[in-house]
Chain A
Amino acid sequence: MNETLNLLIGLAMGLNLLALGSSRLPSLIRAVSVQGMVLGIMPVIIEHAGLDWRILLVAFATMVGKGLVIPGLLRRAMRAANIDREIEPFIGFVPSLLLGAGGTIAAMALARALPLLPEHAKMLLVPGAIASVLTGFILLIGRVKAISQVCGYLILENGIYLFGLLLIHATPLLVESGILLDITVGVFVIGIIVDRIQRAFDSLDTRKLTTLRE
């Protein structure tokens, strides 16, 4: 079970780097959606002994929500705003990729120094969570377009979700489903906002938003 889980977390970390390196919006959205799907399977693998229908339901909802609904909303926003698909980076692709890789390695090193429970020490959950949070930050800071920043926010949330998996026995699944609902609504709202920004400014460049006047 540990190997499968570590493999999946490794895959999620690879998808982090893919998201940092992808130069077009559709491929960035695809990376985020695949990562969401991968994360959705994890509770089932962790809890495979005492599997009941509620965990299956949450896992299914996560996979559908993060893997299909949210990317679908983002794609619709992208089409509706009719924006150009090239990502303009604020921090270039190579530097952000190197930053992400450095962050991943630092997360590995940091997780070894943390006083984790013995059953969590062999898992990659903590380094994966820190690396995803860092990747989300890099995307939030280093990209200009609103939609790529949303993707950064989603990856950040994925990192927090990975942290939450450590406490899967302690937190009620209701919290997870609540968070999932929040993100879906958040992305839905952002989709509308993106359309409004596009109409008001003829561009999704968030740098232009800083020139707002009364």
Chain B
Amino acid sequence: MNLIINVIFRLAIWLLLAPLLPGIINKVKAWVAGRRGPPVLQLYYDLAKLWQKGVVISTLASPGFIAGPAIAWIALVGTTMLMPLGPLGSALSFRGDVLLLIYLLALARFCTAWAAMETGSAFEGMGAAREVSYAVLAEAAIIAAVLSLSVQSESLSLVTMLSPSAGAGAVLLGAGLFIVLLAENCRVPFDDPNTHLELTMIHEVMVLDHSGPPLAVILHGASLKLLLFSVLLVQAVLPLGQWPFFAAAGALAAGVLIVIVGVGLVESLLARFAFRRVPLLLTTAFLLCLFALLVAWKGGSQ
């Protein structure tokens, strides 16, 4: 009984708070540009509106067109159950759960790309190709980051990996994970979420043919992913496990807010990179995480 209440409580936190983040980013961008901007709760209104709309399905599309977003969303919800929430710990924790986390993220990406290619649109195929080719580099960075955390804490489960700080390599790891966060969530140096020019889009172009509830599920999944990565980043850098309950919870919330405001500032101050520069930035992220791994290794062996 306790477990069920615990899981429902966590689901409520993750699912209800996630759509807040894109709203905050947009507010920061509007504030920097001197505009009033859309309300912070805009994504909630959008999701409610999309949920009531009908769906247009191409006659070419197989059931995968609907199943893709659904599976991707379920996989992302699964990752939220594995990700510890600071002092609350995680709902489900076992040895090696971090591998499951990486695979669930990959599954979500595969399903989004699969659904994108269902209608046979050339643009969406292009977006899917870009998404997976950048993901190869971003995943290398995540795996290096996870390895460095696991070497640092000598464990393979997320709860024990994330409770101490990343030690001396924390700055490197934080910078690397922040770049990965921007890439994985298709934020500005990699992709412009506001653009509607098919040739330059990555994530937006994959969802062009989705409408109604499937689009709502995709948008909600994207915001969940953003929250997941920012929670991961904050917990990897801050030693939340050594602090008292409320201080840790407050630090986690404040950290996520700072990361999100940082994303908004990056988005307002930087232009999107040319496509040929993107692998360079992702390689930099990989190298940052790799050096964090080296620091963890050397620090541990002495």
Q: Find the A residue at minimum CB distance from B277.
A: A23
Q: Which residues of A contact B284 (CB under 8 A)?
A: 17, 21, 97
B98 to chain A, nearest CB (A): 24
Residues from chain B with a CB closer than 8 A to the CB of A23 are 277, 280
Taken residue by residue from 105 to 141, chain A's Cβ proximity to chain B (1 for < 8 Å, 0 otherwise) reads as 1001000000000000000000000000000000000
The count of chain B contact residues (Cβ–Cβ below 8 Å) is 10
Q: Which of A90-107 contact B (CB under 8 A)?
A: 93-94, 97-98, 101, 104-105
Interface string of A6-34 (1 = CB under 8 A from B): 00000000000100010100000000000
> Is the pair B294, A97 in contact by a Cβ cutoff of 8 Å?
no
Shortest beta-carbon distance from A85 to chain B in Å: 15
- A182 → B minimal CB distance (Å): 33
Quick check: A108 and B287 within 8 Å, CB to CB?
A: no
Within 8 Å of chain A (Cβ to Cβ): is B24?
A: no
- Mark contacts of B258-302 with chain A using CB atoms, 8 A cut-off: 1 yes-contact digit, 0 otherwise: 000000000000000000010110011001001100100010000
* Whole-angstrom distance between the Cβ of A100 and the nearest chain B Cβ: 9
Of B277, B279, B283, most buried by chain A (CB within 10 Å of CB) is B283
CA distance A97 to B280 in the complex (A): 8
Q: Contacts of A21 on B, CB cut-off 8 Å?
A: 280, 284
Task: Say whether A98 contacts B283, CB under 8 Å.
Answer: yes
Chain B residue nearest to A95 in the complex (CB): B283
Shortest CB–CB separation between residue A72 and chain B, in angstroms? 28
Give Cα A98–Cα B277 distance, bound, in whole angstroms: 15
Other-chain residue from A93, A94, A101 in contact with B290 (beta carbon distance below 8 A): A101
State in angstroms the CA–CA spacing of A177 and B298 once bound together. 35
* Cβ B277 vs Cβ A97 within 8 A: no
Write out the residue numbers on chain B whose beta carbons fall within 8 Å of the beta carbon of A97: 280, 283-284, 287
Quote the shortest CB–CB distance from A65 to chain B (angstroms): 30
Q: How far is the CA of A98 from the CA of B286 in the complex (A)?
A: 10
Tell me the smallest distance from the CB of A133 to a CB of chain B, in Å: 19
Alpha-carbon gap, A94 to B278, bound state (A):
10
- Is the pair A94, B287 in contact by a Cβ cutoff of 8 Å? no
- Which of A94, A101, A108 contacts B280 (CB under 8 A)? A94
Chain A residues within 8 Å of B298, by CB: 108
Cβ-defined contact, A108 with B283, below 8 A: no
Which residues on A sit within 8 Å (CB–CB) of B283? 94, 97-98
With the chains together, A17 CA to B281 CA distance in Å? 12
CA distance A98 to B290 in the complex (A): 11
Contact A17 B287, beta carbon cutoff 8 Å: yes
Chain A nearest CB from B167 CB (Å) reads: 13
Most buried by B among A17, A94, A108: A94
A contact set with B: CB distance below 8 Å: 17, 21, 23, 93-94, 97-98, 101, 104-105, 108
Which B residues are within 8 Å of any A CB, using their own CB? 277, 279-280, 283-284, 287, 290-291, 294, 298
Q: List 6 A-B contacts (CB under 8 A).
A: A17-B287, A94-B283, A98-B283, A98-B287, A105-B290, A108-B298
